[in-house]
């Protein structure tokens, strides 16, 4: 089965600074999803990446999928307190019916210091 490793496990960033989270897969990624979770709450969908080299942005958050489709990064520019939380990457297990199941990385906990 697919394994996803996220790094770092946690980070503390000064408000206004940039940060990057990485998600590395043991297999080719057919669909890669980024979620955000605030403490005590559910997962909120951020972005989905499908094609090698794809890049998507929403407000100050940019996600990229590398050409080989085995690594993704999430970059936050000029971080704000609202960016605090745990970020999780998830990936489709495969194509077709196998792609119905998602595997998740362990998460990256982000704390933004004012």
Partner 1 sequence: NAGVTQTPKFQVLKTGQSMTLQCAQDMNHEYMSWYRQDPGMGLRLIHYSVGAGITDQGEVPNGYNVSRSTTEDFPLRLLSAAPSQTSVYFCASRRTRVAKNIQYFGAGTRLSVL
Footprint of partner 1 on this chain (CB under 8 A)?
1, 30-31, 33, 35, 40-45, 48, 50, 88, 90, 92, 94-107
Give 40 or 114: the residue with its C-beta nearer to partner 1. 40
∠ CA 111-45-103 to the nearest 5 degrees? 90
> Minimal distance in Å, beta carbon 112 to partner 1?
21
Give 96 or 114: the residue with its C-beta nearer to partner 1. 96
> Minimal distance in Å, beta carbon 15 to partner 1?
26
Burial class (CB in 10 A: 0-12, 13-18, 19+), 14: exposed
């Amino acid at each position: 089965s697919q394994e996803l490793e996220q790094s770092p496990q946690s980070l503390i960033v000064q408000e206004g600074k940039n940060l990057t989270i990485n998600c590395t897969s043991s297999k080719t990624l057919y669909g890669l999803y980024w979620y955000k979770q605030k403490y005590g709450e559910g997962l909120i969908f951020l972005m989905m990446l499908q094609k090698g080299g794809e890049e998507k942005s929403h407000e100050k958050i940019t996600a990229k999928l590398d050409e080989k489709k085995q690594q993704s990064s999430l970059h936050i520019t000029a971080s704000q307190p609202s960016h605090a939380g745990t970020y999780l990457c998830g990936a489709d297990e495969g194509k077709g019916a196998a792609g119905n199941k998602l595997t998740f990385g362990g998460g990256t906990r982000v704390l933004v210091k004012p």
